[in-house]
Chains A and B, each alone.
Chain A
Amino acid sequence: MTDLTSLTLAEARKGLADKTFTSLELTDAHLSAMEAARALNAFVLETPDQARAMAREADGKIAKGDAGPLAGIPLGIKDLFATEGIRTTACSKILGDFKPPYESTVTKQLWRDGAVLLGKLNNDEFAMGSSNETSCFGPVVNPWRREGSNTTLVPGGSSGGSASAVAALLCMGATATDTGGSIRQPAAFTATVGIKPTYGRCSRWGIVAFASSLDQAGPIARSVRDCAMLLRSMAGHDPKDTTSVDIAVPNYEAAIGKSVKGMRIGIPREYRLDGMPAEIEKLWEAGAAWLKAAGAELVEVSLPHTKYALPAYYIVAPAEASSNLARYDGVRYGLREQGRNIIEMYENSRAEGFGAEVKRRVMIGTYVLSAGYYDAYYLRAQKVRTLIKKDFEDCFAKGVDAILTPATPSAAFGIGEKGGADPVEMYLNDIFTVTVNMAGLPGIAVPAGKDAQGLPLGLQLIGRPFDEETLFSLGEVIEQAAGRFTPVRWW
């Protein structure tokens, strides 16, 4: 039954509808694959009983002809999404054994449409990281290795468990979240497809908060079509999130295969970095050539404030995080360490419960919001953010439909290789993705090729607000031209 795991979500949907196999068979195949792949550390909690119960229910509905759009499809859920009665930790010690008495809106909609929960996926602690090395459950291993090497590589982050599990055929798709690149960078590192929709497209209700003005949920899957199917179920207005937008969710799958003829694709000159590896440059040119061959028109564009996006992000995101994470006080849930008084209890609980990266960001956030520094740092960063967004608006106003860029400045790197003494080294991973969060735009990462060592590389397409459909159409063109990439199984 292991070959069932290599189907795409669209193929599995057809097999289920045709009664070639049942959801229980499909689910069991994935549960076995998960068990055999524990060396990847992609799952932090496996929920086989829940999975089989949900699969049986889906099979019943399929038999009755009452199946939802994702009926019987086994998925992994990033541990940032609250799942009712099922441990949810954000991969932080401070949440301990937290079992939410509620379900996040995004996962609730997936279950409404018939999907099956396989388990909870590893991520960087509170989604703060670009390598999945900050998780309290330890790092996730990328199923990809350099040709002829046994070195273990990171899957990227923060949605490293999601990307690794999808690439290694442990689940048909996964939920993920993206604050500065946390869906698109791991997708690029693992040859999977990941889309961060427009801010407001998916409800943030029930997702552990990191930086609320930047956080968005989205799917990671093995094809552009699979992502379109998942996003349709995940997206939609939710009165419980006041930033969720009340506009209709289109049938994203209808955008797959739609002609891109005459579309104007911007190539931003500021994304051509000094010292960028030649193979990234080559990949970018190849992507442009594929889109051109499909009838799109390429235009050089300028996004002058690009270089300021990452520094502005490292003020805005930690500031919001310091405020959001104030709730972890050892009183209402999670870890408590004793102290001689209540202040010491707070301080000891947070010192013991937060990992090094989280402490660093909470402290920077506290500093930039503190009296005397607010104007110099936070207010200035928010003004720069306005300018970054305006760069994109000017570009779209000139008739550009989407922007093509590399997804990451390099392929996956080794575990323990980056971010030792200088945290900024790790932060630079998000240099091409973070602008999109700062401007609230949709962005998709699509696998496009491999580097000289055989590691996958991805391209990013950035769209107009709420125009995810154009990204799916263009992403499909790249996928058709580049082909799909699967790691050689070693685990």
Chain B
Amino acid sequence: MSVDAATVRRIAHLARIAVSDDEVPHLQGELNAMLAFVEQLSEVNVDGVDPMTSVTPMEMKKRQDVVNDGEIADDIVANAPATEGHFFLVPKVVE
């Protein structure tokens, strides 16, 4: 399988990465090189094989249903590019 220019733009949008028109051919070539490389997986017989979900067999651990952290709003907003009090500021999303 290979991707065309329109697909490259669609993937970039899904990944929320802005790409300019002159970047598209370059990205298309690189993505197609990767897709050509992974193509060899189609020759493996995977009938009846379960997909891996956990590389180390283990029972999922459950945490105690208790509050053990919190009251650190100052820390949480400390690295944000734009804040007001304990809120993150973003461009307007609701008209």
The verdict on B17 contacting chain A, using a C-beta distance below 8 Å, is yes
A311-B41 contact given A242-B61, A440-B55, CB 8 Å threshold = yes
Q: Would you call B11 and A386 a contact (CB within 8 A)?
A: no
Query: Which residue in chain B gives the minimum CB-CB distance to A424?
Result: B37
- Overall SS of chain A's interface: helix
The verdict on A377 contacting chain B, using a C-beta distance below 8 Å, is yes
Q: Would you call A382 and B51 a contact (CB within 8 A)?
A: yes
The verdict on A478 contacting chain B, using a C-beta distance below 8 Å, is no
User: Across the interface, which residues of B come within 8 angstroms of A341, CB to CB?
Assistant: 91-93
- Residue-wise, chain A 43-85 has the 8 Å CB interface mask toward B (1 for contact) of 0000000000000000000000000000000000000000000
User: Across the interface, which residues of A come within 8 angstroms of B81, CB to CB?
Assistant: 330-331, 333-336
Q: How long is the Cα–Cα vector from A151 to B37 in the complex, in angstroms?
A: 31
A-B interface pairs (CB < 8 A), number = 172
Q: Would you call A332 and B91 a contact (CB within 8 A)?
A: no
A377-396 interface with B by 8 A CB criterion: 377, 379-387, 389
Q: Would you call A314 and B15 a contact (CB within 8 A)?
A: no
How close is A45's CB to chain B, nearest CB, in angstroms?
16
The verdict on A343 contacting chain B, using a C-beta distance below 8 Å, is yes
What is the interface of chain A, defined by CB distance below 8 A to chain B? 98-99, 101-102, 198-200, 213, 239, 242-243, 245, 305, 307-308, 310-312, 314-315, 322, 326, 329-336, 338-348, 350-351, 354, 359-360, 362-367, 370, 373, 376-377, 379-387, 389, 421-424, 427, 438-440, 465
A-B contact pairs, 11 of them (CB 8 A): A99-B78, A311-B39, A312-B41, A343-B16, A350-B17, A363-B31, A366-B14, A386-B52, A422-B30, A438-B55, A440-B55
Known: A199-B56, A331-B90. 19 other contacts (CB 8 A): A98-B79, A198-B56, A200-B56, A242-B60, A245-B56, A315-B38, A331-B81, A344-B18, A345-B90, A351-B19, A359-B15, A380-B44, A383-B44, A383-B51, A383-B52, A386-B52, A389-B52, A389-B55, A422-B30
